[in-house]
């Protein structure tokens, strides 16, 4: 039955503007709440459709005469594509940032005051300037300030994985414009970060919408680090040849080395980090978004807001700081809902490095360091866990689940061994070395003692005379490193960065030394291969997606992709902003003969049908 309202309903807007027939998950409840003027805090996984949660209310409220929605987004570089995508859908939108001239900014401000824009994107730094405050005040006086949307809202919290001080100023939105509704959105926030977001943004009365954090299309794999770059290359070549991916490394130097190695191996790879010239960073980001099959090797400076839907894998060569960062970064894979991989190598040195960064941070308070240590411990537990990765990951965010059957631990369950005796040997060795010398020593030296290696350092300190000398010859050095790493993860041993990464016992070690508790650990391969082969062979996602298409449809799809690439170049936009791959596949399969045949295909709204419909028909009917 047709609706009686003068304005399109949110569902009408979803179909007519964006080309989708149904809302997903809690989208409809969020949209209706915000359209009605309510405040909202939205936690929704990457790829869950957060943008529509404020874009549809922006259109609906503009239609009802409420004026412009101001979107606070942290990255200037991505505003262009976000605004471009809205233009493609027929929505009046613009961004206001430092890349524009004074004349361009002035012209845009006049447009706003004439109520000609539905959405305006601005960086948080911009919101706090006197000129912007004045502009917002003028809009408010005219009744033309409809909604504030705060994207990547976890940036406001010091407990979050990507704290940005400029976000703190956003509390002024509520203080200055208490009658203007606000929606804050993030893909990642644990309970502590969520509480901080509510307090900092004054969202105590906002309705919270927390979606499932589950991304069932992502396969989580964590392997023991041996030769990380060689392991990475084998992973990409065997599972993702020719597909787009992101590789995260901790340092700029490492980024450059890995990108060079991948290029030497014949992959289409680039480096990205904050040390590069801003113009070069922008150029490389644009290439990643616009070209197929690119691999971006980067520090965490790259990624926030990247909405490229066909990233097939995210790999970590170094362990992130916490689970939120890991989840946010891995969530950049498989935004299109098709199978994707989250793959990480992890070793003892990762633990040492992350502990050192926390403990030696001069700017941080002791309270902050303690919270960060707890977050790191949670990530260590995830890495060493023998349970389903997805169960452990979702448990961190307070969500229950069942084994996924798709992660490395489910596909090839790790063997667990009774490591009580080995743990007692390691802990006893640490204790006796410190007792004998009055000082602590590092991991390598401890393992030399355990394995009975009479090195110069061992002989110099008479550690060959200790009762623990040579009692660990039954295990290889790789296996002892695995034992030590897991004892650190279990909170029995700590690495002291202030004393040359020496090892010290923690209180929980006492019960093991006294024989009061047993210790069960993941079994380490004697040679440290650390990668368990899956029995099934991997078919590329592209191959799986296109396997159902017949020869004629595949030919149409190839022509459609070539046409889309031309249009994207003309508009200076990524190809997926014109049409997603899934939309092109649906068109190719349907073999449309008329514009009516294109109606109802997901991703084709009325503006795109009008703008591209006849061209799409021409491409499909070309022989």
Beta-sheet strands, E only, within 13-88: 40-43, 68-72
What does pTM read for this prediction?
0.82
Confidence of residue 544 (pLDDT cuts 50, 70, 90): low
N- to C-terminal Cα distance for the chain? 42
Confidence of residue 168 (pLDDT cuts 50, 70, 90): confident
Q: Please give the pLDDT value at position 5.
A: 52
Tokens of 620: 């499909």
CA-to-CA distance for 112 and 108, rounded, in angstroms?
6
Average pLDDT in the 138-147 region?
Answer: 95
CA-to-CA distance for 394 and 397, rounded, in angstroms?
5
Query: Are 320 and 351 contacting, i.e. CB atoms less than 8 angstroms apart?
Result: no
- For the chain, what are the domain ranges? 10-210, 218-346+385-411, 417-522, 546-621
* Per-residue pLDDT tens over the stretch 10-33: 999 999 999 999 998 899 999 999
CA-to-CA distance for 308 and 359, rounded, in angstroms?
36
Tell me if 10-210 shares its fold with 546-621: no
Average pLDDT in the 457-482 region?
Answer: 91
Residue for token digits 């964590």? 222
Confidence of residue 538 (pLDDT cuts 50, 70, 90): low
Per CATH, the architecture of 546-621 is what?
Orthogonal Bundle (1.10)
Q: Where are the alpha helices (DSSP H) in 89-145?
A: 102-113, 124-127, 130-141
Domain 218-346+385-411 has CATH 3.40.50.300: yes
Q: Please give the pLDDT value at position 29.
A: 96
Long-range CB pairs of 433-437, under 8 A, 24+ apart, other chains included: 433/463, 433/466, 433/468, 434/504, 434/505, 436/461, 436/462, 436/463, 436/466, 437/461, 437/463
Tokens of 422: 């080995």
The string of DSSP letters for 133-181 reads HHHHHHHHHTT-EEEEEESSGGGG-TTSTT--GGGGGGHHHHHH-TTS-
Residue for token digits 């449309």? 592
Q: Is the pLDDT of residue 48 over 60?
A: yes
* Per-residue pLDDT tens over the stretch 275-294: 999 889 888 988 898 888 99
Q: Taking the domain 10-210, which CATH number applies?
A: 3.40.50.300
* Per-residue pLDDT tens over the stretch 355-414: 878 877 776 788 888 888 888 888 988 998 888 999 999 998 888 999 999 999 999 998
Average pLDDT in the 185-211 region?
Answer: 89
If DSSP states are collapsed to H, E and C, what string results for 404-462? CCCCHHHHCCCCEEECHHHHHHHHHHHHHHHHHHCCCCCHHHHHHHHCCCCCHHHHHCC
* Per-residue pLDDT tens over the stretch 86-105: 999 999 999 998 778 889 88
Average pLDDT in the 607-616 region?
Answer: 95
Confidence of residue 231 (pLDDT cuts 50, 70, 90): very high
Residues, the chain, total? Answer: 623
Q: Is the pLDDT of residue 524 over 90?
A: no
pLDDT higher for 499 or 489? 489
Q: Is the pLDDT of residue 603 over 60?
A: yes
* Per-residue pLDDT tens over the stretch 296-308: 999 987 876 677 8
CA-to-CA distance for 6 and 28, rounded, in angstroms?
20
Which of the residue ranges 4-8, 139-143, 381-385, 614-618 would you say has the lowest mean pLDDT?
A: 4-8
Q: Is the pLDDT of residue 40 over 80?
A: yes
Chain centroid to Cα 543, Å, comes to: 25
- Mean pLDDT value across the chain: 88
pLDDT higher for 300 or 51? 51
Chain centroid to Cα 128, Å, comes to: 28
* Per-residue pLDDT tens over the stretch 552-566: 999 999 999 999 999
Q: Please give the pLDDT value at position 397.
A: 87
Q: Please give the pLDDT value at position 3.
A: 45
Confidence of residue 54 (pLDDT cuts 50, 70, 90): very high
Q: Is the pLDDT of residue 468 over 70?
A: yes
Q: Taking the domain 417-522, which CATH number applies?
A: 1.10.10.10
Q: Within 13 A of 62's CA, how many CA atoms are on the CB side?
A: 22
Average pLDDT in the 205-226 region?
Answer: 92
Helix (H, G, I), strand (E, B) or coil at 599: coil
Average pLDDT in the 232-259 region?
Answer: 95
**Phi–psi pair at 280, nearest 5 degrees:** -70, -40
Confidence of residue 311 (pLDDT cuts 50, 70, 90): very high
Q: Please give the pLDDT value at position 545.
A: 57
């Amino acid at each position: 039955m047709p609706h009686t309202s003068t304005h399109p309903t949110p569902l009408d807007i979803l179909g007519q503007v964006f080309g989708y027939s149904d809302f997903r998950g809690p989208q409809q409840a969020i949209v209706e709440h915000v359209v009605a003027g309510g405040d909202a805090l939205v936690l929704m996984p990457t790829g869950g459709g957060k943008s529509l949660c404020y874009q549809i209310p922006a259109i609906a409220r503009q239609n009802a005469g409420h004026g412009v929605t101001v979107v606070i987004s942290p990255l200037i570089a991505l505003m262009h594509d976000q605004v471009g995508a809205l233009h493609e859908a027929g929505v009046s939108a613009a961004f206001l940032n430092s890349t524009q001239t004074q004349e361009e900014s002035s012209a845009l401000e006049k447009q706003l005051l004439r109520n000609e824009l539905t959405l305006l994107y601005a960086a948080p730094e911009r919101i706090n300037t006197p000129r912007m405050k004045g502009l917002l005040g003028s809009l408010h006086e005219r009744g033309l300030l409809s909604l504030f949307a705060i994207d990547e809202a976890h940036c406001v919290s010091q407990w979050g994985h990507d704290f940005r001080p400029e976000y703190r100023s956003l509390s002024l939105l509520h203080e200055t414009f208490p009658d203007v509704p606000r929606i804050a959105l993030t893909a990642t926030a644990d309970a502590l970060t969520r509480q901080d977001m509510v307090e900092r943004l004054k969202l105590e009365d906002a309705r919270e919408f927390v979606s499932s954090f589950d991304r069932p299309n992502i396969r989580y794999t964590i392997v023991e680090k041996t030769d990380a770059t060689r392991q990475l290359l084998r992973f990409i070549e065997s599972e993702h040849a020719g597909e787009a991916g992101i590789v995260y490394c901790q340092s700029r130097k490492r980024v450059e080395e890995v990108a060079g190695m991948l290029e030497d191996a014949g992959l289409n790879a680039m480096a990205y980090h904050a040390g590069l010239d801003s113009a070069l960073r922008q150029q490389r980001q644009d290439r990643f978004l616009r070209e197929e099959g690119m691999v971006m090797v980067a520090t965490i400076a790259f990624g926030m807001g990247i909405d490229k839907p066909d990233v097939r894998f995210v790999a970590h060569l170094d362990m992130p700081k916490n689970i939120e960062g890991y989840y946010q970064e891995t969530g950049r894979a498989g935004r299109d809902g098709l199978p994707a991989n989250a793959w990480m190598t992890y070793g003892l040195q990762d633990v040492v490095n992350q502990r050192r960064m926390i403990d030696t941070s001069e700017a941080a308070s002791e309270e902050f360091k303690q919270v960060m240590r707890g977050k790191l411990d949670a990530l260590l537990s995830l890495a060493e866990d023998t349970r389903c990765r997805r169960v452990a990951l979702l448990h961190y965010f307070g969500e229950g689940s069942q084994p996924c059957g798709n992660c490395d631990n489910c596909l090839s369950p790790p063997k667990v061994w009774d490591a009580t005796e080995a743990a007692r040997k390691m802990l006893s060795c640490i204790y006796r070395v410190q007792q004998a010398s009055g000082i602590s020593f590092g991991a390598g030296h401890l393992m030399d003692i355990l394995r009975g290696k009479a090195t110069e350092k061992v002989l110099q300190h008479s550690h060959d005379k200790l009762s623990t000398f040579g009692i660990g010859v039954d295990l290889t050095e790789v296996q002892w490193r695995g034992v030590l790493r897991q004892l650190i993860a279990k909170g029995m041993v700590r690495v002291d960065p202030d004393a040359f990464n020496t090892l010290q016992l923690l209180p929980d070690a006492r019960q093991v030394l006294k024989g009061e508790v047993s210790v069960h650990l993941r079994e380490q391969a004697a040679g440290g291969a650390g990668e368990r082969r899956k029995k099934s062979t991997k078919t590329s996602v592209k191959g799986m997606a296109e396997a159902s298409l017949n020869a004629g449809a595949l030919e149409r799809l190839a022509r459609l992709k070539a046409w889309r690439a031309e249009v994207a170049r003309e508009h200076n936009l990524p190809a997926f902003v014109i049409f997603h791959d899934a939309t092109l596949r649906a068109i190719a399969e349907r073999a449309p003969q008329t514009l009516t045949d294109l109606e109802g295909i997901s991703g084709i709204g009325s503006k795109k049908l009008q703008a591209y419909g006849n061209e799409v028909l021409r491409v499909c009917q070309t022989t």
